[in-house]
Amino acid sequence: MEFSADQIAGILNGEIQGNADITVNDLSKIEEGRQGTLSFLSNPKYEEYIYTTESSICIVNKAFEPSKTLPGTLTLIKVDDAYSCFAKLLELYGNLYKKEPGIEKQTHIDETASIGKNVHIGSFTYIGKNAKISDDVVIYPNCYIGENAVVGKSTKIYPNVNVYHDCKIGSNCIIHSGSVIGSDGFGFAPDEKGKFQKIPQIGNVVIEDDVELGSNVSVDRATMGSTFIRKGVKIDNLCQIAHNVDVNENSAMAAQVGIAGSTKIGKNVLIGGQAGISGHIKIADQTKIVAQSGIPSSVKKAQTLMGSPGIPLDDFKKSYFGFRKLPGLLKRVQELEEKIEALTKV
């Protein structure tokens, strides 16, 4: 589909500088701009590219004033916040590919399952007994929705997602490909011979509204009770959430984070990639954990932690400065020891 600069400015309430009739049919980064595409500029680091880009339209902040001559084929749309306006356009662009309601061939939907209005269910998807699929849900092909599972209104589930029995997903959630919700928690107990015996995991997973899970995320079901992913949580690809964990509202974690069993993550906590968090601890609201950090004990007040074990960021920087100097200090100690040894022989 093609959109003119005039149409885009109308959507964004922007001001046009250039040809209002010029049209675009695709999006591109400003440094990779092509004719017929729309780009944006909000970060000054990328300003140099606006003077060479081949994009037809670029969204910029109202405060932007070019320091060089712009390409003659480029039309500007000035808005209050270029970044948020471009995000709005991306959302509209994504809606162009929205699945139409309907149930494709070769799906299995149990006769006891409840299917809402305007639902799309892709081929080779399995919907189990007493499952409830709410209105406006989109489920892509090759998904499994187990017995008594619930999927809330307007949630989107991408291909190859498995939602085990009794698990609940709220409204307006996005679950990306390969994620598993409700697999067994890692519960084993050694017997008198040292052989591990499996502890049945009879709980479930509860995912509240407005949650997004990246691809290949595992959220384990509780041993008893529920594993909770609260409202507004965002989880990146390849994360592991163990049994009985509670991730509170509007917290976010980057890829490859692992959270061990029964840990409670507070509200608005930010966790960097590859961080590991021990089990049965609590992380205070507003805490920030730097990538690759390890958190072995509870964090009682909001702070930024780094290292393994995680310590306050300023302390880590001071410690790291000392660590970098350690080879030189060891050399000096060795030299002093040699001098002392030589003096004691005199």
Residues 204-255: tens digit of each pLDDT: 999 999 999 999 999 999 999 999 999 999 999 999 999 999 999 999 999 9
pLDDT value at position 1? 74
- Of the pLDDT bands very low, low, confident and very high (cuts 50, 70, 90), residue 70 is very high
Range of the domain at 70: 3-95
Distances (CA, A) of 282 to 62, 143, 221, 226, 285: 45, 34, 19, 17, 9
Of 262, 255, 254, 249, residue with least CA distance to 298 = 262
**Catalytic residue, candidates 108, 165, 176, 243:** 243
Q: Tell me the pLDDT band of 41, cut-offs 50, 70 and 90.
A: very high
Please check whether residues 115 and 229 belong to one and the same domain.
yes
What whole-number distance in Å separates Cα of residue 113 and Cα of residue 119? 13
Q: 217 and 73 in one domain? A: no
Q: Which residues are CB-neighbours of 39 under 8 A, at least 6 positions away?
A: 27, 28, 29, 30, 33, 53, 55, 57, 58, 59
- In this predicted structure, what is the pLDDT of residue 93? 80
Is residue 276 domain-shared with residue 132, that is, in the same domain? yes
pLDDT band at 346 (very low <50, low <70, confident <90, very high): low
Q: Is the pLDDT of residue 31 over 70?
A: yes
Statement: residue 138 has pLDDT above 70:
yes
Q: Are 246 and 131 in the same domain?
A: yes
CATH number at residue 307: 2.160.10.10
* Same domain (yes/no): 253, 142: yes
Number of helical H runs and strand E runs in the chain: 3, 40
State phi, psi for 267 to the nearest 5 degrees.
-80, 145
Nearest to 302 by CA among 258, 267, 341, 257: 267
Is the pLDDT at 96 greater than 80? The verdict is no
Taking the C-alpha atoms of residue 255 and residue 275, their distance in angstroms, rounded to an integer, is: 9
Q: Which of 74, 95, 116 is a domain's end point?
A: 95
56 and 150, same domain (yes or no): no
How many structural domains is the chain composed of?
Answer: 3
What is the residue whose two structure tokens read 């409840």? 114
- Are 75 and 111 within one domain? no
Is the distance from CB of 207 to CB of 244 less than 8 angstroms?
A: no
Residue 50 sits in the same domain as residue 178: no
- Region of residue 225 (left: phi > 0; alpha: psi -120 to 50; beta: else): left
Q: What pLDDT band is residue 321 in, cutting at 50, 70 and 90? A: confident
Question: Around 192, how many Cα atoms within 13 Å sit in the side-chain half-sphere?
Answer: 0
Tell me the pLDDT band of 322, cut-offs 50, 70 and 90.
confident
Measure CA 119 to chain center: 25
Whole-angstrom Cα distance, residue 27 to residue 264? 41
Report the CATH number that the domain containing residue 88 is assigned in CATH. 3.40.1390.10
Note if 243 is an active site residue. yes
Same domain, 294 and 342: no
- Do 151 and 42 have their domain in common? no
Question: Distance of CA 118 to CAs 32, 138, 161, 231, 288, Å?
Answer: 38, 9, 20, 24, 40
Angle at CA 25, nearest 5°, toward 23 and 26?
Answer: 125
Residue 96 to residue 226: CA distance in whole angstroms: 37
Asked if the model's pLDDT at residue 97 lies above 80, the reply is no
- Dump pLDDT digits (tens) for 145-175: 999 999 999 999 999 999 999 999 999 999 9
Domain end position, chosen among 65, 95, 125: 95
Domain's final residue, options 95, 113, 142: 95
User: Which residue, 324, 326, 292, 321, is CA-closest to 309?
Assistant: 292
- The answer to whether residues 182 and 263 belong to one domain is yes
First-to-last CA distance in the chain? 92
Residue 345 has pLDDT above 80, yes or no: no
Cis status of the peptide bond prior to 309, with omega within 30 of 0: yes
77 and 154, same structural domain? Answer: no
pLDDT tens per residue across span 6-15? 999 999 999 9
